[in-house]
Amino acid sequence: MNTKSRFKPRSVCASLIRPAAVNRLCKTLRAATCLSLLLAVSHFENAFAEDVQPSTGIATLLEAAHHASDTATIRLHHLNRLDARLNTDVTELKAQCRYESDIATPPPAHHIALTFDDGPEPVQTEYILDVLQQYGVPATFFMIGSQAQKHPDLVRKVLASGVHQVANHSWDHPNFHSITAEQQSVEVARTEDVLDSAMHKKFFRYPYGNSTCETNALLHGRGYEIVGWHVDSCDWAFDKDGKVDFKEATSCGVLPQYHADFTGHVLSALRAHNGGILLMHEIHPNTLKKLAEIIQAALAEGYVFDTVDSPAFQASLR
């Protein structure tokens, strides 16, 4: 009989909510505010198995906190964007340049450009590359500069295939709506310094899709094209069991029959757009679990895969 003491995730969450622990974690979490940490704590149990062994290290706990916090932050920005699009005049939104990542231009018929944000990540990036190689499919990797600096070997692995693109996704994934124009410029330039030789063409995607007029002008002045998406996979919204709740299904446009079917949702959204630039994230498990299944099904339906630098997608870039 195993007599080792065990504790439940709820106990872990309770200890993390103590002010001193929250303050410590807030200082360590990349691109996370104390608000997003508190939101993460409320979802923290989903990041763990039913029980957690006492030997679970702080690195594992922090990794789970990172994931839960990132998910909570994406959720917040996603709902803010949806609210703005529903309740703000189109002319005013255009003048503000705030939410331009949802591409209105129709994609080239039956063409898909796979894009992966927030890497490179050990294990995840390599797994994605293996799946892409298995099916002979190219992709574009929008990399965070600080991650690329830590993992230059993974940047080289992405390029080694000769078919994938590397692109700029800021230095440490802040919300460009809440930092100064000067800070935004630094986010672009620092990442460019790290990725410069890896970027055959210059592409940029805003963190959370939150664009600004100042950085639009800066990017175009530095020779970048700005890349949004036709289809948001909403991989962040589906939980570890591959299910999405009603509220997030509504905000992501997930049809009722796909509330427990991530692959079905992605394919349905691609059919509705007849292809397009597909947003996915290296850090969310549903993308890793279902990537091969999505590619296989799309190929069976006759879709053609490109990178965002394909002439077919030129009209979709800014």
* Nearest-angstrom CA–CA distance, 46 and 68: 8
Confidence of residue 20 (pLDDT cuts 50, 70, 90): very low
Confidence of residue 296 (pLDDT cuts 50, 70, 90): very high
Residue 81: per-residue pLDDT: 67
Mean pLDDT of 30-45: 38
> Alpha helix (H) ranges present in the chain?
9-17, 19-28, 34-42, 58-87, 90-96, 124-135, 145-150, 152-160, 181-195, 213-221, 246-252, 262-273, 285-300
**What is the fold of 100-316?**
TIM Barrel (3.20.20)
Could you tell me if residue 118 is left (phi over 0), alpha (psi between -120 and 50 degrees) or otherwise beta?
left
Sign of CA dihedral 123, 124, 125, 128: positive
Q: What is the tens place of the pLDDT at every residue in 191-229?
A: 999 998 999 999 999 999 999 999 999 999 999 999 999
* Nearest-angstrom CA–CA distance, 207 and 212: 11
Q: Is the pLDDT of residue 317 over 60?
A: yes
Tokens of 161: 């295939």
* Domain range list for the chain: 9-85, 100-316
Residue 7: per-residue pLDDT: 32
CB atoms within 10 A of CB 215: 23
Tokens of 170: 């800021």
Contacts 24+ apart (CB under 8 A), 251-255: 251/78, 251/79, 251/82, 252/78
Residue 79: per-residue pLDDT: 67
